[in-house]
Amino acid sequence: MPCQISRRSILRIVACLAVTYMASSARAGEPVDIEYHEDVIYGAGDGEPLRLDWARPKKFDKPLTAIVYIHGGGWALGDKKGHRDEIKKAAREGFFSATVGYRLAPAHRFPAQVEDCKCAIRYLRANADELGLDREKIGAIGFSAGAHLVMMLATMDAEDGLEGKGGWPDWSSKIQAGVSFFGPTNLQSEFPERSQPLVNQFLDGTVESKPDAFRLASPITYVNAGDAPLLMYQGTKDILVPHDQAFQMIEALTAAGVPGRVEFLLGQGHGWRDPEAARTFAGAIDFIVEQTSKSQQSAEK
């Protein structure tokens, strides 16, 4: 029998944990005029158009570092619109930035969400010259389920599959740096009663009935040397994503020699407000700039 929970139940689970993610102040410098586009079609999933929004400075003299935002919502809720302010702010700070829409459960189960986000990265890379971004400097920031998708983009290689047929098959879907805000890393692990239904709905079953799907949907499955550096933020009182999820990823990344950083916020839950929101979000941008620059320098050697 298909695993499905009501939209009202999902809303109750997620809405009760709503937090303010973004409150960082503008960086120093003069205001920058930006170019902004909504609902740009980047591919297709099961015949359904997939859309993203993007923004960039109106004037720039070299390809821009790209910052991609992936929304959360238990793989079943949320909208790219939630990060429109952030992509505009990033554009004013000199970045190309996009917020990605993807298919949602229960109408679309795993691996649809992964396939769509991979397609979005391929679209950006394939159209980098026209869009004005540096195809070798793409970073992504995600929240909760969106963080899970970012970690899939950071760890999966071409031979791992799940690329889908959304479009742009000749281009890589791997990012150069990723930031996870309280994202699940190992879906085979035990989750709290509040969040297990969301995981089961995403994967259309239980870990007992679909062990292969739970393994294939877990970022930790794909960790190996050469993966994109990761920055992970995790609250120690998160009632949806236990902080043990971050510990498990730490062990895997360390064993594989993948660079990055993990920060536990003591006493924080599934998200946090200012001043920690401003600090951690600014840190996410800085991490992407630092790591994508390192990635490019290594490629040039």
CATH at residue 133: 3.40.50.1820
Which one is predicted more confidently, 27 or 130?
Answer: 130
| Beta strands per DSSP E along the chain | 34-45, 48-57, 64-70, 96-100, 133-143, 177-181, 230-235, 260-265
Tens digit of each residue's pLDDT (9 = 90 or more) over 155-166: 999 999 999 999
Q: Does residue 2 belong to any structural domain of this protein?
A: no
Please give the Cα distance from 91 to 215 (Å, whole number): 37
What pTM was computed for the model?
0.91
User: Is-contact 87 99, C-beta < 8 A?
Assistant: yes
Does residue 44 lie within any of the structural domains? yes
Q: Are 261 and 290 in contact (CB under 8 A)?
A: no
Average pLDDT, the chain: 90
Does residue 1 belong to any structural domain of this protein? no
pLDDT for the residue 296: 58
Whether the predicted pLDDT of 179 surpasses 70? yes
| pLDDT band (50, 70, 90) for residue 16 | very low
pLDDT digits (tens, 9 = 90+) for 254-286: 999 999 999 999 999 999 999 999 999 999 999
Choose between 20 and 279: higher pLDDT.
279
What's the CA gap between 95 and 129, in Å, rounded?
A: 15
**More reliable by pLDDT, 238 or 293:** 238
Flag whether 204 is in a domain. Answer: yes
pLDDT of residue 234: 98
Q: Is residue 144 part of a domain?
A: yes
The rounded percent of the chain whose pLDDT value lies above 90 is 86
The count of domains in the chain is: 1
The domain of 272 spans 7-21+29-300
